[in-house]
Each structure stands twice: as C-alpha cells, then as structure tokens.
Amino acid sequence: MEYFSKQISEMIDEFSRLPGIGAKSAQRLAFHILHMPKEDVKRLSQTIYDARENVRFCKECFTLTDSETCPICANPKRNHRQIMVVEDSRDLAAYEKTQKYDGVYHVLHGAISPMQGIGPADIRLKELMTRLQADVDEVIIATNSSLEGETTAMYIAKLLKPTGIRTTRIASGVPVGGDLEYIDEVTLLRALEGRTEL
C-alpha cells in the first residue's frame, strides 16, 4: 500500500482490522471520510469514543447499555418472571423488533464451543443461575440453531432441570446455523410461539 502516504495508509489499515471490512472497503471508507466535512468527522469519532467509554453490561441481563440497568430491565411493564436467553445483544435487538415479546432477557455473550475452547465458565451462565434465585416462571432458550447454540441450549436445560423452572426452546423454524439477527421478524415470532418444553 506504499502508493498512499503514511496517514492515509494508517487509516486504511485501521479500517481493514474491522470485521467484514476487506482491503477494498477499507479504502472506500478511508477516502469517504477524507472527503467529509471536518465537523462530521469529529462527531463520528466522538460518538464512537463516547460509546466505547460509557457502554457497559446491564447489571441484570448483561446486555450492552450506557446506564447501570438497560431500558428493558428498568421497565416495570415488562414481565420480569419470563427470561429469554440469547447469545448476544444483537439477538436481543432482533426479538425487540418484533414488538411481541414482553419478558426480559439474559445475554450470554457467546455460546459453548469445545472446538474453540469456549466452555460454560466463559459465558454468562453463572449470572443466569444467580438470577433464577428470584421468582421466575419460564426460561426461553433462544440461542442460535448452530452446533454451538444447540450445545449451549442442552447444557442450560440440564442445568435448569433441578430448579423445576419451566424451560422452553424456540422452534427450529430458525434455519440451522442461522444467525438470529438476520432472520426476519415473522420467522422469529413463529419460532417464539412454537417453542417447546425441554
């Protein structure tokens, strides 16, 4: 990339470290930004920095939020006795978009994957068990239908068995290996409505 001067090359290099950004996209982004008004660039970089500085885990559900408790957990109108377990905050957003789920969530931040050396202690399972000491009517396991997601679902089901809490799994209308965030709302709703007892 020696045909670009140092600072331009560095910018392209930074962008190409981001997920899904190849060399071509990195160049396009860098040149787009170099043509933007300085004020807009300042706002963009400030927004990114502020979010990184302030965003943390919700103390109840562990989703990413910029306050101690996320807006869903802080909402008294939500059913706090129904907990949907998802792999990450993007899955939570996918279910929120359906506007049909009024329970709360628990974000694991990953899934069990022996292949990648990710075990039960590496995701937020202990925190889920702690939450279940309060009154809970149902735990809906909405991990992805990938191998890792299914492994995690089975592990949680086994963990919950002795608690006697109703444990359900979303229907497999969700395509195998499908990332929840890419599935349309109708499919998600159908998966939720068709959930089965574990």
Candidates 39-47, 59-67, 139-147, 162-170; binding stretch for Zn ion (CB under 5 A): 59-67
Both structure tokens of 69: 């408790």
> Would you call 142 exposed, middle or buried from its count of C-beta atoms within 10 A (0-12, 13-18, 19+)?
buried
Least distance in angstroms from the C-beta of 65 to Zn ion: 6
User: Which residues from 65-124 bind Zn ion, rule CB under 5 A?
Assistant: 70, 73
Please say whether the beta carbons of 141 and 182 come within 8 A.
Answer: no
Q: How many residues bind Zn ion (CB under 5 A)?
A: 5
Least distance in angstroms from the C-beta of 63 to Zn ion: 5
**Residue 98 parent element (H or E):** helix 89-98
* Cβ proximity to Zn ion, 11 vs 84, nearer residue: 84
Least distance in angstroms from the C-beta of 99 to Zn ion: 18
Residue of 12, 30, 61, 92 interacting with Zn ion (CB under 5 A)? 61
Residue of 58, 108, 125, 153 interacting with Zn ion (CB under 5 A)? 58
* Cβ proximity to Zn ion, 60 vs 91, nearer residue: 60
- Residue 144 sits at the vertex; the CA angle it makes with 150 and 135, to the nearest 5 degrees, is 80
Q: Which residues are registered as beta bridge partners of 138? A: 82, 166
Both structure tokens of 97: 């978009």
* Cβ proximity to Zn ion, 12 vs 85, nearer residue: 85
Please report the beta strands in the chain, taking only residues with DSSP state E, as ranges in sequence order: 56-57, 64-65, 79-86, 103-107, 138-141, 166-169, 196-197
Residue of 60, 87, 127, 181 interacting with Zn ion (CB under 5 A)? 60
Question: What number of residues does the chain have?
Answer: 198
The residues binding Zn ion (CB under 5 A) are 58, 60-61, 70, 73
